[in-house]
Structure 1
Amino acid sequence: MTSRSGAPVVVAVDGSTSALEAVRVAAREAVTRGRPLRVVHAFIWALHGVSLEPAPGAPDDAGFRHQAEQTVADAVAEAGKIAPDLTVTGTVVDGSPTPVLLAEARDAALVVLGSRGLGGFAGLLVGSVAVQVSARADCPVLVVNGTARADGPVLVGIDGSALSTEALGVAFEEAALRDTGLVAVHAWNIPVPPSALLPVADSFEALAGEEERALAEALAGWSERYPDVPVRRHIAYGAPARILVEESSRAQLTVVGARGRGAFTGMLLGSVSHAALHHSHSPVMIVRHVRQD
């Protein structure tokens, strides 16, 4: 689903510790996929008309342009420590981070971002670049927040929307790549409390049964395609965002569609994907749509 033959894993760097952790994760992701790694730094200073050269009397290695190139070089070296045999290239691209990364995503297998960069405001859990790129990129976006770990299942949230079906396919693929299991979470709610339904028990049980059947149907085709991926179904009554975040504490990766059934027109991300992006205990992969080769 996400093959894009020859496409690299792209990771964004800005000199922050969050970006450097994203480089480490991206290097592992590239190895897992058998892909090259492309390190990208969006160089915004050229847009502001400031001098990019060292000030008079300053060392030759001073200046904004050199600092950007050094940031990329440091990231490439860090990736080499994680995966010495990985093909890694680095580049400085003039432009603002969001449009630069959206352009990179058109030809990438995966874009990896740190949760916050150097420009983040204090108190923000996830930076604006990560939110905007996740919501608009042409390939899956992996935001490295929470704890990156090698064990645990892949977690995916399912709500019956077309985009969650795409996310489910990506989650199966990720579980197969990682040789681990899949936990499919479907949280459901009703507009009135169960106590308002008549008869209470019969109505609630009937609704719960419908939700269980819907989840089983959603999983059936994918389980046939990935027979070696063990699947655990988790159906819960309650707020989808809360349940997904709770489950993420035991996962190595959380996969969600950018927007589900309940998203309002004009929103960059739906409420569940937004909550996962900000509060997940594991790295989060946001799927907006997937183009096939």
Structure 2
Amino acid sequence: MTTSPDNSVVVVADGSGSAGHAERWAADEATRWGARLRVTRDLAVPSLIEESREARLIVFAPGGEPVTALALVTDGHCPVAVVRGRKLEQAPPVEGPVVVGVDGTPASEPALALAFAEASSRGADLLAVHTWVQFSATSTDSYARDHLTSTADIAVEESELLAERLAGWQEKYPEVTVHRVVSRNRPVRFLLEQAEHARLLIVGSRAGAWFSDLSHGSTSQALLFGTPCPLIVVRAAITDEMRTR
């Protein structure tokens, strides 16, 4: 498979103890997609954001510069990966499903696009996770929903919402076996639980969805730097074109 100048995987070699895992994972990802691998030690945020305009993925190690990784997730132009194993001394997992968080809105589409492509390329099952707490992403009357609608009815509504989001992608990737999980739970907590048995977790970064405030907030950073498997964060603004490079 040939490469093009804008088809690269960039790994930030920051000197942290887990950087070796991140570099090897990035190399495998580049090989899988026929992309060039570029290793950089430049942690200047403006430089990396500019580089993200032409990269398909930028990869960090969890022990590196959290501020830099957070800035790339917030303002970058390509997906951002943070790679670790079950423990820092272990390699990232190569078995288990690809897990994707689906918030029930169109903002999930870029993450779904990448998740189906990654599952297909790896020959892995896809676990699509949707959580709800007090009200649906489509609800305009949370009081009526909370007090006049039964939990069972809400669960059915949320399951239908997830099915609608997956329908087109399942037709595009018929070879991918999809498992749906709908849970009344906190999204970050539940995603971390599912990641325990995953080879890869993919989420979107739309404000108010999986990350409510990427520059602050312990739960956001817990997901970004505490996920027990490699994590890819896809900004909602990233289009399908980015993943066809």
1:290 aligns with 2:234: no
In structure 1, how many angstroms separate the alpha carbons of the residues matched to 2:40 and 2:53? 14
TM-superposed CA distance for 1:179, in Å, is: 1.1
| Partner amino acid, structure 1, of 2:125 | G
Q: Is the 8 A contact 2:82 2:232 kept in 1?
A: yes
Of residues 57, 60, 85 in structure 2, which corresponds to 1:110?
Answer: 57
| Partner amino acid, structure 2, of 1:178 | R
1:143-162 per-residue CA deviation (whole Å, 9 max, x = no partner) reads: 11343111111000111233
1:154 aligns with 2:88: no
1:40-55 equivalences under 5 Å are: 40-42=40-42
Ranges in structure 1 where 5+ consecutive residues have no aligned partner? 43-95, 121-126
- The TM-score, its normalising length taken from structure 1, stands at 0.69
1:84-123 equivalences under 5 Å are: 96-117=43-64
1:182-241 per-residue CA deviation (whole Å, 9 max, x = no partner) reads: 000001111699xx735xxx6211111110100000000000000000000001111111
In structure 2, how many angstroms separate the alpha carbons of the residues matched to 1:264 and 1:13? 25
Give the aligned partner of residue 72 of structure 2.
Answer: 133
Give the aligned partner of residue 89 of structure 2.
Answer: none
Q: Kindly, what percent of the aligned residue pairs are identical?
A: 40
1:188 aligns with 2:136: no
| Partner amino acid, structure 1, of 2:95 | D
| Partner amino acid, structure 1, of 2:197 | R
In structure 2, how many angstroms separate the alpha carbons of the residues matched to 1:252 and 1:33? 17
TM-superposed CA distance for 1:108, in Å, is: 0.5
**Number of aligned residue pairs:** 226
TM-superposed CA distance for 1:290, in Å, is: 2.2
1:118-267 equivalences under 5 Å are: 127-147=66-86, 148-190=92-134, 197-198=147-148, 203-262=150-209, 267=214
Query: In structure 2, the residue corresponding to 1:250 is in which secondary structure?
Result: coil
Give the aligned partner of residue 12 of structure 1.
Answer: 12
Query: In structure 2, the residue corresponding to 1:21 is in which secondary structure?
Result: helix
Query: In structure 1, the residue corresponding to 2:196 is in which secondary structure?
Result: helix
Structure 1 stretch displaced more, 265-274 or 222-231: 265-274
Give the aligned partner of residue 31 of structure 1.
Answer: 31
In structure 1, how many angstroms separate the alpha carbons of the residues matched to 2:4 and 2:164? 28
- The TM-score, its normalising length taken from structure 2, stands at 0.82
Q: Is the 8 A contact 1:248 1:281 kept in 2?
A: yes
Cα RMSD (Å) of the superposition?
A: 2.8
Ranges in structure 2 where 5+ consecutive residues have no aligned partner? 87-91, 136-141
